[in-house]
Structure 1
Amino acid sequence: MNRKLLTTAVCGVLAVPFAALAQDAQSATDIDKVVVTGSLIPQVQIETATPIQSITAEDMQRQGFRDVYDVLRSQPLATGAVQDAQFSGGFTPGAEPISLLGLDPGFTLVLIDGRPMADYPLLYNGQSNFVDLSSIPTAMVERIDIAPGNQSAVYGSSAIAGVVNIILKKRMDGSQLNLRIGAYDQGGGANTRFQFTTGREFGDLSLVFGLQYSEQDPIYGFDRDQIDSTNDNPDPDLRYGSRTFLRSLADGTYVSPDPSTCAPLSRLFGGSTIYDERPGRGFYCGSREEVGYTTIMNKEQSIAGYLNAVYTLNDNAELYGTLLVNRDKSESNSGSRFWQPSTDTGGFIVNADSGEFESFQHIFAPEETGDLDYNNERLTSDSYNFAAGIRGNFGASAWGYDAYYARSQFKIKSRQNWLLAQNVEDFFRESFLGPQLGEYYGYPIYSPDVAAFYRPVTPDEYRSFNSEIRTDSETWTHNLNLQLTNTELFELPAGPVGFAAVLQAGEQKWENPTDPRVVNGEFWGLTGTQGEGKRTNQAVAVEFRVPIFSMLTANLSGRYDQYKNEGLNEDNDTTYKIGLEFRPIESLLLRANYATAFKAPDMAYVFAGDSGFFTTVRDYYRCAVEEPGVPVSDCSFDAEQVFGTRRGAPDLESITAESWGGGVVWSPTPNFSVNADYYHIKIDNKVSDLNLDQLMQEESACRLGQLDPGSPTCVNALARIGRSAPTAPVPNQVETVLTNPINISKEEVSGILADLTYGWQAGSWGDFNLRLSYNVTLDHESQQYPEDPVLDLLSEPFYSSEFRNIGSASLSWNRGPWNANLYGVRYSRTPNYRAQINEAGYAVEGAERVDAMYRFNGTLGYEFTEDVALTFTVNNLLDEDPPEDNTWDVYPYYNNFNYNMYGRSYMLEVNWRFQ
């Protein structure tokens, strides 16, 4: 009901402007023609058929944002949950992506000055490519434009959810020094940032130079009282410690040690190791604070430089070049390492002394590793964006040109210490297991010295069975562009026709050669992704801006793209866009657009080599053979743990999409503007991995003779499912599965965007400016396979925890040397954890939701002189934690894909301008 009321209110905005039709239109002030995001043709009108949301450098400073990622993640368009740098246990702990409109991060095209950035070399969720926003320094940003919806007809691949165009500074008079220091209320995360920017004119040469250096301390879970211990678990029955020294039996019960056994271990994990009990299982030596030894904010150090140069050749031509470079070093800790014997048998051995199947578990504490940071994953990222070209006009004609070469590159060196499987097995055989005495149905037999198990290892011993994983990954993209424009191609009765054309040729590379020892299984309990490849692309695009009559203008664009994967297939796509602008009076714009788009398959989807993962599957075959008559959901083989292998699919085709929308913009005065737009995006041929459950069903039917074993379906299914031999200790057990991506899924999303800006002067009270923004998702549906039901992602929390709506408000004030801003954002309710996944791993009917969340940032500034200013910022003014969720009973006890636990922060900033 609330969503309907909000939607009705927004739609009501659409009717307001028609009351202005009877009013006299205010004359527009002539301004220079500019190139706006979403079009290649220079034009006077800033508001066009494509709705654009802009955030200026001043907005970023006044609204208290820490960096470019913080800016974009706070926008109402960014409704999707993402794995960012807060998620240290993922594949990309140093990266910060966004999800526009709840769609995949790879569906957003991120540009710098209209040119594409290189992908992040590591893979999002171990599968797909995306652009990292953490590498963009704020000191060099002039503004950020966001154009939602399909923009491929102008910009090419990936612009399905929309385009984020980051405009860098091009002109600057004088120099500026900026120093900012920051800290968090609850500790950790202390940060410092230094910026220097300058602009100079040397005759025909214009230069802008910038330098930014920043440091950030980590925030660990133990820095936050809400997540520093298992005592914070919302489920009282789960408030027991991590099993740092555990001896257990095959039925899940523990072999309880004498309480005195844990006393010598009490110093571990900061003195928190105790004799603890897990109800129903037994006693062990454990720590309730072990969970807090993971980072929720990375340790980081970065330096970035920027140079923009323009040299005027004559009145009609200029040379230009832009270079943005960045080096970032980050460290994250995904948690403590642990060991169990014999991973091939699920950690179980046969104890010759007790005659029982037993398992031993040891979680290594920082006191044993010798350093809290020893296990950190250390990433060194080097990236640059370069462009150089010539632009100008052909004589006194209206023809303009821009010819340039652009290149973007991203390199990552990943370093991480990890247990070597053979070394750690050898160490614990020598220290307490003893020599192997034989084998019982595949399970090794030992006579362990249990007393020797209950002792810490020394840092030297720990490091003796560790080795450093070293992986160097790289991506780059470069292209040659020739762009022609003519704002007066020919005259029509209603005015001149604008024209633009683009020729483009480029190449991309992705290389992620994971340390071969990881792929070969030489590290204990670890797997990884790998792959590499190149592809070329060529494109031609045209755009027309056609005044049909005085009140109506059409925007028409079309583009043809060709991608050739090196040594593999090629893929061609044609996209187009039609936009209409109707201005019955100067202050009122009615607009509509229809567009098609595409996304060339991620290079990782095409070129990925064999990459491993762990998952669970339902074994339909063993259920049918060994437990006939038992419902599958009650079968003992309902959730079998297996090792999966995933590889790329060379024959993938492009993902395609179409979008349409319409809206209204009303600006009756220079100080007041309101707009509302409807959007609808429909995606076909979306890439998804093969459905393992369907494969397991097909494999079972083939083995049982229900399908012809010689059919292509059976040959494929039987080759993908690996089982133990019929004579093995556990016959016909599923051991491996093989999957790859295919073009088969569909997705559809629609919603309404609205913005209002209003500025007024209040005499001696000062000047005020208000901006309101709102995005409501009306529908978001997905279908993974043609046979599957269509899922409502707003009501099926197992598949999505996106925000249904986000609204923001910014109120700024200026009076003499004083200025202030209050920025607030409201995030809608989202599903709680148990609504997302129950014990069986499936969605729960009648999903419950957690409360909406509000976050406020406040800034207060004072200008001592025209050149020296001081700004004090408080982020998360009310110190709001993520919404309480009494069902989120796994660490960190909140949805860290939607929210963070950073808490309130303070920043003090000094700005000095000089010549």
Structure 2
Amino acid sequence: MSRQGNSISRHPLAAAVLTGLLLTSATVFAQDNAATNLDRVTVTGSLIPQTEIENHTPVLTVTAEDIQTRGFTSISEVLQQSSLTTGGLQGGQTAASFTQGAEAAGMFGLDPGYTKYLINGRPMLQYPALYNGSDAFNNLSGIPIDIVERIEILPGGQSSLYGSDAIAGVVNIILKERMDGGVLNVRGGATTEGGGNNIRVSGARGFNSADDRFNALVNVQYEKSNPIWGYQRDLTRTNNRVGYSAQVPANDFLVYLPADNNAFVMMDPTRCASVAGQFGGTTVLGTRAAGESCGSAYGAGYRTLKNDKESSQFYSSMTFDVNDNFTLFADALYSLEEVKYTPGSGYTFWGSDLSFGAFYDQDTDQYMNLQRAFAPEDIGPNGYKDILNTDRNKAYQVTLGGRGTFGNWDYSASFSRGEYKLTERGFVRWADDIDSYFENRVLGPVLGTTDDGYHIYSPNWGAFYSQLPAGDFQTFTGYTYNQSKTWQNLGRFQLTNGSLFTLPGGDAGFAVVAEAGSEGWDYRPDERLMDGSVWGTTSVAGNGHRSNYAVTSELRLPLIDSLTVTGSGRYDAYKIADNTVDKATYSVGVEFRPIESLLFRGKYGTAFRAPTLPDAFQGESGYYANGAVDYYRCGQLGYAPADTLACPYGNESVFGVQAGNTELEPITADVWNAGVVWAPMNNLSVSVDYYNWKIDNEVDTLSSDQLLRAEYYCRNGQGNPTSASCENVADWITRDAAGNIEQIFTPKLNVARQNLQALTASFKYVQDIGRFGSLQFASNYTNILKRELQPQPGDDYLDLLRDPYAMWYYDAYAKVRTDGSVGWAKDRWTTTLYFNYIGKTPNYMSYLGESFDYVHPSGYKAGKWGSYTTYNLSVNYRALDNLTLSLMVNNVFNKMPDGQAHSYAGNIASPYNSSIYNPYGRAVYVQAKYDFGTKTN
């Protein structure tokens, strides 16, 4: 934290907020709650040191004490439980997500990549793998939580200060800079339902020279967490027990007839008795409307709900005062992490449909397909524990620099270098080996070929309906290794004057920043994933780099005692392949204080997100667009685009290719906020703020339908309302000599837009209760007032708050989120009760019926899943002056999302919205912190 020498007498508005922040500390909690003077400080949201804690931009601060007393176990958990996180997220709790080994967070339901993440004010490295398979984002799991000083969360568009990605807001994770003495922290715990055992050990030590010119801090942290398995929770142990339809086992041994609407047929003369030992002896005969199959309802439990994780971090910060006016500084952060997980039997199977299309059984005179899931008994003694996927991360970030003063000017210059490497060891089935195995063992020799080209077999049903012999599973399975990395270089120079000139309201402040750097992304999947060697799994590839420079300036003008205006502007330029993308952004903020205890604030600005490296350089991947309308050929027959029902080219199957696009324009946004902060007393503060976003040019792929419509308009000389130009159309649609579509190309384009409105509120109150100690109350609230999205040009806007189908498709947002705490401190004891509230979200039936009014034939009604509140409780006891013992219970009442299960069918393995809720249940942790005379700044 930067500090200047100027101070002021007690100000009710500033003192109330500062008191609310400081009194979360046990050592301060029982002291006098009045702040008598304030130094100028630099907080996230401004480049200029100032005396006001609250200004034109709201900042939510989570201190190290908050992290401890509220029971947070990681940086990602701090941010995911924030009231600002109203949208769903992919990660370790979501089976088979694209980045299951990473931990993400976002704000206001916007994608994680719309939030700018900083460590000590410098941009974090992006994760090499892609969120949802296509987007760049930051993995928050490699930051040592025990050395965090505070986390400052800045909602709203902030590109005029922080550049690209700061559309939803900015998160600045500030690590400790100095320590006099040392500290050792040991923490362990587990969940009461089983699994998730955790141990974390961290140590930090400060080193200071006798003359205090040299200071260094070194921190090392190690953590090991065991996984939570599906079979360790009643909700996920089996397929849904309490759904709107009866529970049914999975189709682990399935024979179905493609010529008969995929009807199931039982070919086992023992009617599943021969495989009854699978999945722990739970495989039975299952009956559905489509027919009979053999399977287990307990196969759902053989997947990880929470990753196995082992991580180590090293962090060091150093300063050296060359003289009274100049200081050298450096910091380094290194992280090594290994994460293991499996999506389970639902994703570990073989099917003839993907391998052969179908085959002809000469004994029954029918076309057939087979499906065979693999049980733990097929795999070996340890079952799914032996075939875990492993993500291994190695990352470092180093900064060297100097800062000093001359006259009224402060300056700093720094250079940062970072690199993030990821190795993904993925369990796979080899295509040729697994197909050959089932051909040889089950289907037998090819007995001929049908007139339409399908192989004829006489299957050995006894071999199909049986456990695999020991060791056979390993003959057709193995691992692939994806190698990927990101890197970043950034040079930065800042010049600041907190007293540029004097105005009636005080000193004007000015800052200017110049930045230049480069960054790269390189994702190289195992070649076997790309050439068809792997059964049922593929990947994407890509690599590229970009260089950039930026200039930022900020001017703070206290026009009169009650009115301050702050303006900032920034120019960014990116060199991406042969394309230069540049963007100027600005903001104007106003602070009006009619009385000391009341602040009215507002800000208007612009924000942007530059084309990310994956958006620009992601490699090609194929897909099929079924049911496509060839509007051009229909037009040749006289059919208009709105009337193609009878057109013979109205239901085509078209092969498409998707890829990145080096000619993308930046995503842009107009953002404004307005609010009020009231602090009638030094120990009370209330704030309310409104935010409004209009976001344009969002990146998505143009739909095949949009592209084919564009071709119709272009070839007929009509106005083209889509984002694809007529030149694009000519390049992106390939036809053969007869006019048939051979291929369409749908790269990423700037096609979508959305409007978002939100209301936030914050409350802090501290009360001294005399000999009974002190009480503290704090709460934060977010209400999404409007969220509408236009996926493609010309489309109707989707209401993401009221259209249940759209809400589920885009992660099923919670309209309202609240969190808060009640703390009590007396003498050597502090106790905190923290709550986290998630408002109503649509149930799954509303998604299936595409309406809140839908009623399923079973009688179950669509609607909303009620509000969801969990509580954390912590007790801290200072046993000695330098020893603190802590007990933390997270999710005290063992709250589970089991009430959602009624809106899911009986064949669903995860009957709840896993992007928002989890079934981890209650966790208990104990901690001992030994302080070797530590004082921190």
Contact 2:56 2:589 in 1 (8 A): yes
Please state if 1:427 is matched with 2:437. Answer: yes
Pair 632,376 (structure 1): closer, same or farther in 2 beyond 3 Å: farther
Contact 1:221 1:296 in 2 (8 A): yes
| Distance in 1, Cα, partners of 2:820 & 2:748 | 41
Give the deviation of 1:607 after TM superposition: 0.3
What code does the residue aligned with 1:753 have? T
Superposed CA deviations along residues 290-329 of structure 1, whole A, max 9, x for unmatched, are 1221111001100111100111111111111111111110
Deviation at 1:81, TM superposition (A): 0.9
CA distance 1:330–1:665, shift in 2 (3 Å):
same
Q: Which residue of 1 aligns with 2:541?
A: 530
CA distances 1:403-426 after superposition (whole Å, capped 9, x unpaired): 000123211100012111111111
* TM-score after normalising by structure 1: 0.90
Distance 1:777 1:325, change over 3 A: same
**How far apart, in 2, do the equivalents of 1:653 and 1:707 lie?**
22
Aligned to 1:568: 578
**Residue aligning to 1:467:** 478
Matched, 1:291 2:307: no
1:758 matched residue in structure 2: 765
Q: Which residue of 248, 267, 272 maps to 2:282?
A: 272
The unaligned stretches of length 5 or more in structure 1 are 1-12, 18-25
Please give the per-residue CA displacement for 1:501-524, whole angstroms capped at 9, x wherever unaligned.
111100010111111221222211
The 5 A counterparts of 1:212-611 are: 212-232=221-241, 234-237=243-246, 239-250=247-258, 251=260, 252-258=262-268, 260=270, 262-274=272-284, 276-336=285-345, 337-341=348-352, 343=354, 346=357, 348-370=358-380, 371-394=383-406, 397-436=407-446, 437-565=448-576, 567-611=577-621
Does residue 778 of structure 1 match 2:778? no
Q: CA 1:642/1:170 → structure 2, altered by over 3 Å: closer, same or farther?
A: farther
Q: Is the 8 A contact 1:28 1:586 kept in 2?
A: no
CA contact (8 A) 1:707 1:714 kept: no
Q: For 1:510, what is the secondary structure of its paired residue?
A: strand
1:58 CA drift (Å): 0.2
C-alpha separation in 2, matches of 1:327 and 1:109? 23
Q: Provide the secondary structure at the position in 1 that maps to 2:272.
A: helix
Match of 2:102 in 1: 95
Amino acid at match of 1:859: S
The equivalent of 1:909 in structure 2 is 927
Distance 2:649 2:189 in 1: 53
Please report how far the alpha carbon of residue 700 of structure 1 lies from its aligned counterpart in structure 2 after TM superposition.
9.3
Q: Could you say which residue in structure 1 is the equivalent of 2:143?
A: 136
The structure whose RCO (Cα within 8 Å, separation 6+) is larger is: 2
If the length of structure 2 is used for normalisation, what is the TM-score?
Answer: 0.88
Q: Any idea what SS the aligned residue of 1:878 has? A: coil
Deviations 1:861-890 (A, max 9, x none): 211111111111111111111262222333
- 5+ residue gaps in structure 2? 1-12, 18-32, 855-861
1 CA distance for matches of 2:609 and 2:187? 40
RMSD of Structure 2 on Structure 1 (CA): 3.2
Alignment partner of 1:887 out of 903, 906, 913: 903
Deviations 1:19-72 (A, max 9, x none): xxxxxxx99843221111011111111211110000001001101111111111
CA displacement 1:217-242 (0-9 Å, x = unmatched):
111111111121125251334x2111
Question: Which residue identity lines up with residue 99 of structure 2 in the other structure?
Answer: T
Query: Aligned residues: percent identity?
Result: 37
Displacement of 1:667: 2.1
Report the alpha carbon displacement of residue 344 of structure 1 after superposing the two structures with TM: 5.8
* Mapped pair 1:57 → 2:64: yes
Q: Which amino acid aligns with 1:384?
A: Y
Matched, 1:115 2:122: yes
Secondary structure in structure 2 of the residue aligned to 1:359: strand
What is the aligned partner in structure 2 of residue 687 from structure 1?
Answer: 699
What SS class does the counterpart of residue 740 from structure 1 fall into? strand
Alignment check: 8 A CA contact 2:182 2:932 kept: yes
Q: Distance between the aligned counterparts of 1:91 and 1:576, measured in 2?
A: 35
User: 1:133 aligns to what SS in structure 2?
Assistant: coil
Distance across 1 between alignment mates of 2:818 and 2:290:
48
Whole-Å separation in 1 of the counterparts to 2:726 and 2:571:
39
Provide the residue aligned with 1:855 in structure 2.
Answer: 870
SS at match of 1:236: coil
Instruction: Report the CA distance shift for 1:170/1:908 in structure 2 as closer, same or farther (over 3 A).
Output: same
1:897 is aligned, of 898, 915, 926, to 915
Q: Following the alignment from structure 1 to structure 2, what is the Cα–Cα distance between the partners of residues 170 and 415?
A: 36
Deviation per CA, 1:753-794: give whole Å up to 9, x if none. Answer: 111111011122221100021111111111122311122211
1:620/1:696 contact within 8 Å kept: yes
**Letter paired with 2:444:** G
The Cα of 1:634 is off from its aligned counterpart by: 13
Q: Distance in 2 between matches of 1:286 and 1:700?
A: 50
- The question of whether the paired residues in 2 share the 8 Å contact of 1:72 and 1:78 is answered with yes
Matches of 2:716 and 2:361, distance apart in 1: 38
Distance in 2 between the 1:94 and 1:640 partners? 38
Give the Cα–Cα distance (whole angstroms) in 1 for the partners of residues 692 and 353 of structure 2.
53
Partner of 2:20: none
How far apart in 2 are the matches of 1:89 and 1:192? 26
CA distance 1:403–1:642, shift in 2 (3 Å): same
TM-superposed CA distance for 1:165, in Å, is: 0.5
Give the Cα–Cα distance (whole angstroms) in 2 for the partners of residues 489 and 706 of structure 1. Answer: 58
SS of alignment partner, residue 605 of structure 2: strand
Q: Out of 165, 174, 179, which is 1:158 matched to?
A: 165
Distance 1:611 1:62 in 2: 47
Q: CA deviation at 1:385?
A: 2.0
State which of 860, 880, 890 in structure 2 corresponds to 1:875.
890
Bigger Cα displacement from structure 2, 445-454 vs 848-857:
445-454
1:573-603 CA-partner distances (Å, limit 9, x unpaired): 0011111111223322211111111100111
What's 1:656 paired with?
A: 668
Give 1:738 shift. 4.1
Q: How many residues align?
A: 873
1:707 to partner: Cα distance: 12
Q: Using the alignment, how far apart are the partners of 2:539 and 2:687 within structure 1?
A: 47
Closer, same or farther in 2 for the Cα pair 1:115/1:816, shift >3 Å?
same
Pick aligned residue for 1:864 from 868, 879, 889: 879
Structure 1 pair 63–641 and aligned structure 2 pair: CA distance change class (3 A): farther
Q: Supply the distance in 2 between the matched residues of 1:867 and 1:349 (Cα, whole angstroms).
A: 74
Q: Could you tell me how far 1:428 is from its partner in structure 2?
A: 1.5
Report what 1:6 is aligned to: none
Moved more, 493-502 or 60-69: 493-502
Query: Judging changes above 3 Å, is the alpha-carbon distance between structure 1 residues 350 and 723 closer, same or farther for their aligned structure 2 residues?
Result: farther
Q: CA deviation at 1:467?
A: 3.0
Which range moves more in the overlay, 430-439 or 101-110? 430-439
For 2:266 and 2:649, how far apart are their aligned partners in 1? Answer: 29
The range that moved more, 162-171 or 742-751, is 742-751
TM-superposed deviation, 1:459: 4.6
Structure 1 residue 99: Cα displacement: 2.2
Aligned to 1:7: none
SS of equivalent to 1:683: strand
Preserved contact between residue 551 and residue 584 of structure 1 (Cα < 8 Å)? yes
**Aligned in 2, Cα 1:91/1:386: closer, same or farther, shift over 3 Å?**
same
Shift of residue 837, structure 1, vs aligned partner: 3.8
Q: Please show how residues 819-834 of structure 1 align to structure 2 within 5 Å.
A: 819-834=830-845
Q: 1:428 to 1:631 in 2, by over 3 A?
A: farther
